[in-house]
Amino acid sequence: MSLLRVENVTKRFGGLVAVDNVTMEIAHGEMMAIVGPNGAGKTTLFNLINGVFFADEGKIWFEDVDVTHYPAYKRAHMGIGRTFQISRPFASATVQENIAIGAMFGAAGSETNVDQAMEMADHYIGLIGLSSHRDKLAGGLTPIEKKMMEIARALAMKPRLLLMDEAMAGMNPKDIDKMVDFIKRIRSEEGIAIVALVEHIMRAVAGLAERVLVMHQGAKLVDEPTKIALSDPRVIEVYLGVPPGEADA
Amino acid sequence: MILEQLAGNLFQGVVLGTVYGMATMGLSLIFGVLKVVNVGHGAFIMVGAFTSFAVFEYLGLSPVFAIPVAFGIGMALGMIFYYSSIRRLLKGPELASLLATFSFGVILEEGVKFLFTSDFRGFNWDLGKIDMGFTVLPYAKVAACLGSVIIAVLLYLWFNKTRAGMAMRSVVEDGVGARVCGVNVDWEYALSFSLGIGLTVASGVLLTMFVSVGINPYMGGEYTLKAFVVAVLGGLASPYGAFFGGLVFGLLENGSYTLFAQIPGLEPFAMTRFFSFLILLLILLLRPTGLLKAK
Amino acid sequence: MKGASRYLPSIPVLLAYAALFVFGLLNPGRWQLVAQLAFYCALGQAFNLFMGMTGYVDFGYVAFLGIGTYGMAISISELADKGLGLGVIVIGLILSVVFAVLLSLAVGAVALRLRGAYFAIATIGVNEGFRYLIEGARIWNGSEGIIFSRQLREMVGREAAMSLSTFWADVMVFGVAVIATVLTIVYMRGKIGYALAALRMDEDAAKVMGINVTRFKIIAFITSAALAGLLGATAWALKLTYVFPADVFGIHYTVEAIIIVLLGGAGTLLGPIVGGLIYGVSKYYLAVYLPGFQLLVFAPVIIVVIVLFPEGTVGMIKRKLIGTALEKYIL
């Protein structure tokens, strides 16, 4: 049984086909990267998976439940967590409150009261190393801290599937390596499946994912184990002939 | 008998609806460009009505002259309100601009009350009437209807034939793209806001042809509601959609009045007002996704 | 903050109401002013529960006060001769809440599915729309309204009717203010408070976090409406003993509620009472110097507050107190 199954999903905005007949599957605990240039439809695919948008065609199954028409909050309750490409912290709430909100309303939310949520938040704040910022307003964090806080907020939701949108964009190679290690760690500690969207940081893809799905102009181009995918000539062509090893920046 | 009455009222509805349409174009223009809903819309119409009244009663001039005066007053008010507050609120929560435009309305209402008291006023621009058999139409209303069409056509020409108009359209269609192409978006915002207010105040002059004794500082609330109905009928962000929404609303309003008047025990005037509110809710209920997408 | 200590911020608010009440009792000559202030504070507290906590502004809010006024009016005019005594007043209070809740469900079903600007558009006509329904379909006597001072006198006697209108109605307004305060802090400190805060800051992100935003908005909307209904039943119906649709659906009460909440600080617990006192006292003195034009003064004040001090008075005080011992008492 797969955790998530996306079947022939299409999404159009006016005349533009943002996601074009995409089919994909994610197993429990799997780590997958979706790569593709800007505008390839990656974020739209995420939005369809977690219910920010609804698919025009096709079906989405989560743990064998047809969630195609479920609103975003219901999918969150079922165990789909999400971070955003451009961080969306609750700016005038503290770091602790931000993360506690994830704990209060996520998959374990119905059994979590405010006090318990705050305790869980403290745990995740420690995990991301932001303990000294616990009572700071989230709006005042640096961009990288905001990204970390968003990951903690999503983890506090106790998801079974975590969708990470460009978690490493704008980071230097050292931070990327740290982030890759961190993602690997939380994956094994929390036992969750992770899908990461990556625009062009191949270093991260190679270090992180077991499987790579390459999107191009809304459609699925390649869906293979990482090694095979990254040496696929079509993939290299999508990235304008730049060999994967040199596309780090 | 009832059919003749209905035909007459529907015809009047088209004439009034044209003016409603013009009176809503400013609201749609402002929403289309700035994504700000002018909750004080009706108060600006009221200012136009008082301009018309003042020009006619105090200066003894035809209301035709009140149109450019009202338009100028509206442009000036628009600039003042834009630069004093709207400009600083565009990036903030939507709540802020809603409360600000609402407050503009209150300021205008209270300011006009301060100057003119809250008495009901009116004037009669007597140009004679035309008897069409099934209904009688004063020429003043014909003039208001024609004036609305002319203003709508002028706006269309301005948008499509002048550089300034095309620059503004580029902001509606793609704010970022327009910025990249060297359009001064801040100035376009200021201009659209004051143009929208100018059109709205000018429409108040035209509406006075239909409210012979109803000019009062608080007359605007009714028009705010009507303008919202017209605007959602025609698509909130499109001035031309608003124009046709106005026609539809004029027909609905006068048609429903005629029918309510046939039902004993009802106050047709108040029921018509309630009905327009009901239309608003129904459109918002039936097409919320469509309307939200228009955003 | 854990356990009972998270409710500490209600202490200054409740103390302020107690002080105002005692001041009124000790200065009978000022009771009318005190009652008026209590009304404004209660109005702000009730309005803030929705606007302050969700960031949505309901321009048709006064409709809930209006319909609450009718709830009490109908109860007294229909049941006065049934020998229920003061039970009629209790039934009136219940009816006013029921009416307000039903109307808020009807309005909310349409409006709360809409975002921002569209929500405002859907609500701005509610008070007018409802007024014209009552007048147009001649519901509850239509535009002639309901006058029930005679029934009230016959029910409880002249003396009691008098003290009900001039004193006990005002005491009940204090009661509404206190209930509104307690509900506000319970909401703010509960999960619903975090849900509303999240959706106020970023509604789409809130949904992704698993927050059923519509459900929480409806709860806040209904609560705020029910309080308005009680306020209409007490501050208007019992006090005036008549109701006319043209009076109780007037939009300027919504304007006043907005002014009070913004002056005090939207989304704060202490804000409405601070805003209510500032507005009420200023209005009282403006009525002496500039009768009938208090809104001409206050409408520009709203704009100044929105542009320059969007956090309101309490928001600014709160920022000053961060890190001090007083911090945990201010919300």
In terms of pLDDT, which residue wins out, C231 or B3? C231
Given this model, what pLDDT does residue A240 score? 52
Q: Which range among B169-183, B245-259, C176-190, C275-289 shows the weakest confidence by mean pLDDT?
A: B169-183
A52: left (phi over 0), alpha (psi -120 to 50) or beta: alpha
Would you list the DSSP string of B193-210?
HHHHHHHHHHHHHHHTTT
Mean of per-residue pLDDT scores for chain C: 93
Q: For residue C251, give both structure tokens.
A: 């939009």
Given this model, what pLDDT does residue A171 score? 83
Shortest distance between the Cα of C205 and any Cα of chain A, in A, equals: 7
Given this model, what pLDDT does residue A242 score? 53
Q: Tell me the ipTM for this assembly.
A: 0.90
pLDDT digits (tens, 9 = 90+) for B96-106: 999 999 999 99
Low-confidence ranges of chain B (pLDDT < 70): 288-295
Beta-carbon neighbour count of residue C3 at 10 Å? 7
Which superfamily does A27-53+66-246 belong to? P-loop containing nucleotide triphosphate hydrolases (3.40.50.300)
In chain A, which residue's Cα lies nearest the Cα of C188?
A114
Q: For residue A185, give both structure tokens.
A: 């760690």
Counting as contact any 3 or more CB pairs under 8 A, the partners of C are A, B
Shortest distance between the Cα of B129 and any Cα of chain C, in A, equals: 31
Beta-carbon neighbour count of residue C271 at 10 Å? 30
| pLDDT for C257 beyond 70 | yes
Q: Are A101 and C211 within 8 A, CB to CB?
A: yes
| pLDDT-based confidence at residue A236 (cuts at 50, 70, 90) | confident
Pairing of strands A193-198, A161-165: parallel
Length of chain B: 295
Q: For residue C121, give both structure tokens.
A: 């558009």
Domains of chain C and any CATH numbers: 3-329 (1.10.3470)
Given this model, what pLDDT does residue C1 score? 58
| pLDDT-based confidence at residue C100 (cuts at 50, 70, 90) | very high
The answer to whether the beta carbons of residues C10 and C187 sit under 8 Å apart is: no
Find the domain containing B209 and state its range: 2-294
Task: Kindly list the residues from chain C whose CB atom is less than 8 angstroms away from the CB atom of residue B268.
Answer: 136
Domain count, chain B: 1
| pLDDT for A145 beyond 50 | yes
Shortest distance between the Cα of A37 and any Cα of chain C, in A, equals: 24
Looking at residue A178, the DSSP 8-state letter turns out to be H
| pLDDT for A248 beyond 50 | no
| pLDDT-based confidence at residue C151 (cuts at 50, 70, 90) | very high
Q: For residue C50, give both structure tokens.
A: 């929705």
Check if B267 contacts C (Cβ < 8 Å): yes
Q: Are B35 and C117 within 8 A, CB to CB?
A: yes
In chain C, which residue's Cα lies nearest the Cα of B231?
C121
| Exposed / middle / buried, residue B34 (Cβ in 10 Å: 0-12, 13-18, 19+) | buried
The answer to whether the beta carbons of residues B291 and B283 sit under 8 Å apart is: yes
Q: Which of C226, C205, C10 is nearest to C103 (CA)?
A: C226
The answer to whether the beta carbons of residues C230 and C176 sit under 8 Å apart is: yes
Length of chain C: 331
What residue ranges do the domains of chain A occupy?
27-53+66-246
pLDDT digits (tens, 9 = 90+) for A40-50: 899 999 999 99
The CATH number linked to B78 is 1.10.3470
pLDDT digits (tens, 9 = 90+) for B62-94: 999 999 999 999 999 999 999 999 999 998 888
Q: Are B225 and C307 within 8 A, CB to CB?
A: no
Angle, to 10 degrees, between the axis of helix B139-161 and the axis of helix B63-81? 40
The answer to whether the beta carbons of residues C301 and C263 sit under 8 Å apart is: yes
Best to test chain C binding among B110, B219, B230, B278 (most C CBs inside 10 Å): B110
Looking at residue C29, the DSSP 8-state letter turns out to be G
